[in-house]
Structures are given as structure tokens and as C-alpha cells.
Amino acid sequence: MTRDETWGKMFYFWGQGYHSPTLLDRNSTWGEEAYTDEQFQKMATKFVSKGVPVIIGEWGAVKRTGYPDLTGTELDRHLASRTYFSKTITDKANALGLKPIWWDAGGTGSNTMWLFDRSTAAVIDPDNLRALTGGTGLPPPGGEGNSGTAHLINVSIRATAGTGANTLIAGFVLRGESSKSILLRGIGPTLADYKVSDPLVDPSIVLYNSRGTSLDKNDDWGGATALSTTFASLGAFGLSASSKDAALFTSLSAGVYSMHVTTSNSTSGAALAEVYDANTSSTDLHLVNIAGRGAVDTTSNLIAGFVVGGTGSMTVLVRAVGPTLTDYSVTGVLSNPKVTIYDRSGVPLASNDDWGGTTTLSSTFTKVGAFNLPAGSKDAAILMTLNPGPYSAVVSGVNGTTGVALVEVYAVE
């Protein structure tokens, strides 16, 4: 059902642990766990036990958004209930030798059951996909956090850079105690080796603290052997000794910092701002956030790269902010941003267009110290649990829209 009828109402909640205490007429009144056990056992006894294969086809639960009575905590409860339904049906069927086939009917928006964007292969519903496949790291509904020693060891921003208002600014946060060595790089000309068109010819970098005080700077890294050795030890790609790329190796304590990538001439071009944890064995002080603001158009995207190190898994919050930037006096904003997370092979893992105003995301914003987003805004956000490895978050404009956007990656601890 996609609407209420004279003979009955839509159910929002399935499963005895997921009923709403307030929207009582939206709780499922039949077909829950006991009924499922009974029907599956009948099929297993009548067919599977006799060697007859059974396929459960075209089953699913629509993802309901946009209903006036389904917001905030109740929307979170519905999404959690749907994930629980998917996992319960899959587990119960497989345990009895039945083969469940999810009905991915495509489509976007409310009342859909799609898992993948069929044109890009991007995973649209990662939690539901993990519930269906039994993948590792499936969080409890609305759950978050890290397991093992997983933490961010490298973060970066790639965007167009120039002078003045076109300066590429990468903000990052270190949390913890003591201090540690950090490698900063502003890459321009060497990007051409990786088929990036129109790179910034002569980048320079300046490091600032939260008070706006300049701490250090570099223009042309100089080819020093010590720096080359550091690049190699941290897995950073090499730079020609005579290149115009910039690099700094410094010691920092906990705090908020920004690296400005600019140039000494009036040109502009693609640049990469990188921040490396140079002592990944110690997590007393570690990276917890990277953010960068830049222009998105039909030929170039705004990209945040990040590497999860250590063991286990960690939860990250990734945001692409466009319209809400107007609240901070930013003009020419990207009116409808979309963010997609890719793995090291370029495989899309998750994508979001319009964050939806859920309580889970809102509470996560508060937890990590991110500014709030209006519930109905066109800004995008993804909360996802990841295993160690490199990832990228690419911000693009829906339907070819262009403008200024902010991309953010937060470690949710």
C-alpha cells in the first residue's frame, strides 16, 4: 500500500520490538515473526524436505518518507523496523533452505524498495543491503560507533584553487592528548600525472590555527630527502624533486586547523590538499574531521578523500552542504547537492540526495559538532560503517546544477 484506503491503513512498523507507542494504528497487526515462522515451516516441510526448491520472489518493504505523521523519532523507528524486517525474513528463510529474492523495483523518493541506482550502480540503501546479504559490520538500527582500533589516518580535499576567494581551504580537527607529527601537502602540477586536467601550476600552502594565526607555510617543497622518505613511509605518491608542489612536515597538538592552498599568480586550477597522520601507531591524538569548500560544475566535482586505518570498523558521517551555506552568507551555492561514497576500486558504496531530516542524523550532527541542517533542506548526508581502507566522497549537482558546496567527513566516536 502507498496510501490509506477505506478498508485499512498503511503499516509503518513491523516486529514486536519496533512498534510505535504513539502511532498505534500504524503498527502491523498480522504477518509478524510468529506468522512468518509458521508459513516458512510449512513450505520447508512440504517442498524443501522433499528436494523441491523454493524461491520467495518479489518480497520487500517500501521505504516511506514524506508523510506528515512520519517524522523525527517515528521516521527513525520506521527505517529501523524496515531493516529488521529485511534481516529477519532473510535469516529465517535461509535457515530453512528457502531462497528469498528481494524485489528491487527501481525508482526514487518515497514508497520505493530500490537498493541500487541502476544507471551508476551506486548503493542507495547500504543498511538494508547489509541486512539482506548478512554483510559484516551491520549496525543495530540507528547504531553507530567504532570497533577495534579503526581511525582516520589520511584526509584530503580536491577542488579548484586560485587566489583570494578562490583559495582552497581544507579544515581539519585533531582530537586527543599530547602532540604528533603531521604531513601537509598542496599538490598541483603532479596531478597531471594522474590524468587530472588543468592542475594548479604553482601551489603554496599556509597552515593556520583556530585563531587565524599563521603557523607555517611552504611554496615548492624542494626535493628534500627527509620529506621523500616520509612520503614513502606514509603511502603518499612521490613528487619530482623539482616540482612546484608544496609540503610541510610539522608537529601539532589537539585543535582545529586549516590549510590554505593558493598560488602566487593569478591562475587557477585543480589542487589537492592532503593531511597525513605521520604516527598511525598512536591513537592518543588522531584526525576526526576534514572539510573543504569549493565550486561544483558540470566538468569538475568537489572531492573529499579519507583513509581508515587500524583494525575493526568505524562509523563516518559524510555531508554535502549547499543550500544551508546561505545561512553563513555564502553566495552562489549549489542548490541541490548529491554525495556518493566510493571504495578504492571506484565502486560506489552509498549515495544520498536530500538527507531527510531524520533524528538519527540530527543527533549525530550534534554529537560530532557539525552545524544543524533544516529538516527539509536539499543538503545531503550519509552515516555509514566502514572497514579499513581508502575511500572518497564525491559531491555533484543533481540534474547538472552548479554552485559552491561544502564537503565534510567526520569520525563518529
Question: Could you write out the DSSP letters of every residue in 307-327?
Answer: EEESSSBEEEEEEEE-GGGGG
CA 98 to chain centre: 34
Whether the CB-CB separation of 155 and 306 falls below 8 Å is answered with yes
- pLDDT value for 108: 62
User: What are the residue ranges spanned by the domains of the chain?
Assistant: 24-133, 151-412
Give dist(CA 392, CA 381) in Å, integer.
14
Q: Which long-range contacts (CB under 8 A, 24 or more apart) does 32-40 make?
A: 33/88, 36/88, 36/89, 36/92, 37/92, 40/92, 40/93, 40/96, 40/98
Q: Quick one: which H or E segment has residue 367?
A: helix 359-368
The β-bridge partners of 184 are 248, 275
Torsion 169-173-179-181 (CA) sign: negative
Give dist(CA 396, CA 178) in Å, integer.
38
What is the residue-wise DSSP string for 223-255? Answer: T-HHHHHHHHHHTPPP--TT---EEEEEEEEEE
- Read off the pLDDT of residues 80-128 as tens digits, 9 standing for 90 and up: 888 889 988 998 998 899 999 999 877 666 678 888 877 776 777 777 8
- pLDDT value for 141: 41
Give dist(CA 15, CA 28) in Å, integer.
8
Task: Tell me the CA distances in angstroms from 77 to 12, 14, 33, 157, 284, one per residue in order.
Answer: 9, 10, 17, 35, 36
User: Could you tell me which CATH class the domain 151-412 is placed in?
Assistant: mainly beta
Q: Residue 240 corresponds to which cell in the numbers above?
A: 619530482
Residues of the chain scoring pLDDT < 50:
136-144
Helix, strand, coil percentages (3-state) for the chain, rounded to 5, are 20, 40, 40
- pLDDT value for 137: 41
Strands 203-209 and 302-309: unpaired
- pLDDT value for 98: 94
- pLDDT value for 162: 85
Q: Residue 207 corresponds to which cell in the numbers above?
A: 597552515
Whether the CB-CB separation of 296 and 315 falls below 8 Å is answered with no
- pLDDT value for 77: 85
| End-to-end Cα distance, the chain | 39
Is pTM beyond 0.85? Reply is no
- pLDDT value for 136: 41
In sequence order, what E strands does 322-360 have? 337-342, 348-352
Q: Which residue has the cell 559524510?
A: 318
Please give the backbone phi and psi of residue 157, each rounded to the nearest 5 degrees, phi first.
Answer: -135, 130
